[in-house]
Structures are given as structure tokens and as C-alpha cells.
């Protein structure tokens, strides 16, 4: 077993701020949306908390974006430009998640400082971070002050459309968190990836050790 420094401190701070923030957004959003079912705090407290946490995560997103754009770490998000290689690697990863992991087969992806995501993760994180997260923040900002952004809301089809998109994305992110936690538990030990996101060091299992 060897250790590889994969997660820089700024990324770890961003990750855990994002994780806690999104969980709090989901909890407060549940109360705002379904007040008759969930009442963690007063309605006003839930709204105020939801808004402020949203602004913190928007700022956190731009910190993340700036870190990757102005450092060589942006390479971790570079996709495989060869369609053949990408689909072959993706198919191997699907096979691993589908049945290989239950047979004790080694993960076909070997992480490195600039290739820490497998092909499926790379594509998914690009979609989430560059499309879905900005869309969620944008619709949340419109709902925060509908009067101020009324012209944009109307141009997008009205309040119901904006609200529906915001809620649908909320459902997507809720499901993503569950899947993300599950996949994070599939290291050589259930806590290995969680520990790596705290220390920055991923423990890499050698092929010889695996066999």
C-alpha cells in the first residue's frame, strides 16, 4: 500500500464546505417546500438560513472555479479526447461497478495527482459542476428576490417554471449525494476515500498486494 497526495488543501476545504452546505440547503429547502411535513426550525429561520447558505456556496463555487482555472490542477477535469479510449475505459468502469467489485476484482482506474477521476466520474463532475450547479444557483438567486429579477423570471417562462427547475435540480442533487457517499465507500476499506478527503493522501493498493 502506498500513499499518493491527490487532494490539495484548498480542494478539501471547498469539498467539505460544499458538502455541509448542500446538506443544510436540502434540509432547509425541504421545510420551505413541504412545511406541513418538515419543521426543523421556524419557517422564517429556514428561509433566512437557506438564502445565506446559498450565497456562501455561490462564493465557494467561484473559489473552486478560480483555483482550477488558475492552477495546473484543471488537468484533473480534462476529458479523454479519443472517443474510442474514453468509451473503452468507461465500459471497463461500468463492468467493475456492475459486478467486478463484488467478485473482488481490482478497480481498472488507477488514480494519480492529475487523473484522480475515472472516466465516468470525469464526465459526471463536468456536467454537475459546469451545468447543474450554476443552474441551481441561478434559479435560487431568481427565487431569492423575484421582484428584482422579474424580467428575467418572465423571460424564462414565469415563476412556476423557475421554481420547478429549482426543485427538480434539488431532487437530482439529493440523489447525487446518496450515490456519491455510496461510491465513496467502495475503497479498499469503507472509510479509505473519506479519510483521503481529510488528509489529502489516497492509499493506492498495488496489484501485487491485491492478488
CATH of the domain at 173: 1.20.950.20
Coil vs helix vs strand at 202 = strand
Nearest to 196 by CA among 1, 21, 60: 1
Q: What is the mean pLDDT of residues 99-115?
A: 83
Domains contained in the chain, number = 1
Domain range for 29: 2-210
Q: Distance between CA atoms of 43 and 22, rounded to whole angstroms?
A: 18
Q: What is the mean pLDDT of residues 129-156?
A: 95
Residue pair 113/83 in contact by the 8 Å Cβ criterion: no
pLDDT tens, residue by residue, 16-54: 999 999 999 999 999 988 887 888 888 999 999 999 999
pTM of the model: 0.84
Q: Is 46 exposed, middle or buried (0-12, 13-18, 19+ CB in 10 A)?
A: buried
Q: What is the mean pLDDT of residues 91-95?
A: 91
Which residues, 6 or more positions from 169, have their beta carbon under 8 angstroms from its beta carbon?
132, 135, 136, 139
pLDDT exceeds 80 at position 78: no
Q: What is the mean pLDDT of residues 176-193?
A: 88
pLDDT exceeds 90 at position 141: yes
Res. 137 pLDDT band, cuts 50 70 90: very high
Amino acid at each position: 500500500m502506498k500513499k499518493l497526495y491527490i487532494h490539495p488543501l484548498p480542494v478539501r476545504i471547498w469539498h467539505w464546505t460544499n458538502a455541509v452546505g448542500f446538506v443544510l440547503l436540502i434540509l432547509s429547502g425541504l421545510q420551505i417546500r413541504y412545511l406541513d411535513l418538515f419543521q426543523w426550525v421556524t419557517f422564517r429561520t429556514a428561509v433566512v438560513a437557506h438564502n445565506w447558505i446559498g450565497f456562501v456556496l455561490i462564493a465557494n463555487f467561484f473559489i473552486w472555479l478560480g483555483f482550477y482555472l488558475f492552477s495546473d490542477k484543471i488537468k484533473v477535469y480534462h476529458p479523454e479526447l479519443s472517443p474510442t479510449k474514453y468509451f473503452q475505459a468507461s465500459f471497463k468502469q461500468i463492468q467493475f461497478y456492475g459486478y467486478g467489485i463484488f467478485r473482488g476484482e481490482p478497480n481498472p482506474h488507477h488514480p494519480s495527482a492529475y487523473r484522480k477521476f475515472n472516466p465516468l466520474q470525469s464526465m459526471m463532475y463536468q456536467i454537475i459542476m459546469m451545468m447543474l450547479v450554476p443552474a441551481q444557483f441561478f434559479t435560487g438567486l431568481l427565487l431569492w428576490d423575484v421582484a428584482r429579477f422579474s424580467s428575467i423570471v418572465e423571460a424564462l417562462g414565469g415563476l412556476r417554471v423557475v421554481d420547478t427547475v429549482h426543485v427538480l435540480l434539488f431532487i437530482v442533487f439529493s440523489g447525487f449525494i446518496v450515490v456519491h457517499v455510496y461510491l465513496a465507500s467502495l475503497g479498499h476499506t469503507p472509510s479509505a476515500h473519506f479519510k483521503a478527503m481529510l488528509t489529502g493522501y489516497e492509499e493506492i493498493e498495488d496489484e501485487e498486494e491485491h492478488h
